């Protein structure tokens, strides 16, 4: 299995809803990432988990709450989002250790906040 699987592919939510995005990989990668990508813009780093511990939080608003329940799963909990949070949310993973640098991305979850 060489894939990163993200669900759901599409999500529409209101500003008062609580929802979650899920990401799963079975490649044994111990570093996992959330990126946010707006249309015609590059991916912007949100969070990095290394060995199930949060190692980087790029000053993301608290309405986004990441969780890494185990080495294969990464969640992004969403609450009280704003319309400007509408974007493609990409999960990625990579091996850890010397020379291991390539990020493998999932297909993304396209979020629309009404």
| Contact present, 3 and 105 (Cβ < 8 Å) | no
Least distance from C-beta 45 to other proteins, angstroms? 5
Residue of 13, 27, 80, 103 that binds other proteins (CB under 8 A): 103
107 binds other proteins (CB under 8 A): yes
* Residue 70 burial (CB count, 10 A): 8
42 binds other proteins (CB under 8 A): yes
Phi-psi region of 7 (alpha: psi -120 to 50; beta: other; left: phi over 0): beta
Of the candidates 113, 82, 85, the one whose C-alpha atom is nearest the C-alpha of residue 11 is: 113
Least distance from C-beta 18 to other proteins, angstroms? 26
Binding site for other proteins (CB under 8 A): 4, 33, 40-45, 48, 56, 88, 90, 101-108, 110
């Amino acid at each position: 299995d060489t894939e990163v699987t993200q669900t759901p592919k599409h999500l529409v939510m209101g500003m008062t809803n609580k929802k979650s995005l899920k990401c799963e990989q079975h490649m044994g990668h111990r570093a996992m990432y959330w990126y946010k990508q707006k249309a015609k813009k590059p991916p912007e780093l949100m969070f990095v988990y290394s060995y199930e511990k949060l190692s980087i939080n790029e000053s993301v608003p608290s309405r986004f709450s990441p969780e890494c329940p185990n080495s294969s799963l990464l969640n992004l909990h969403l609450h009280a989002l704003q319309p400007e949070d509408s974007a493609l949310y990409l999960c990625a993973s990579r091996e850890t250790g010397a020379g291991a640098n390539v990020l493998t991305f999932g297909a993304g979850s396209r979020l629309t906040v009404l």
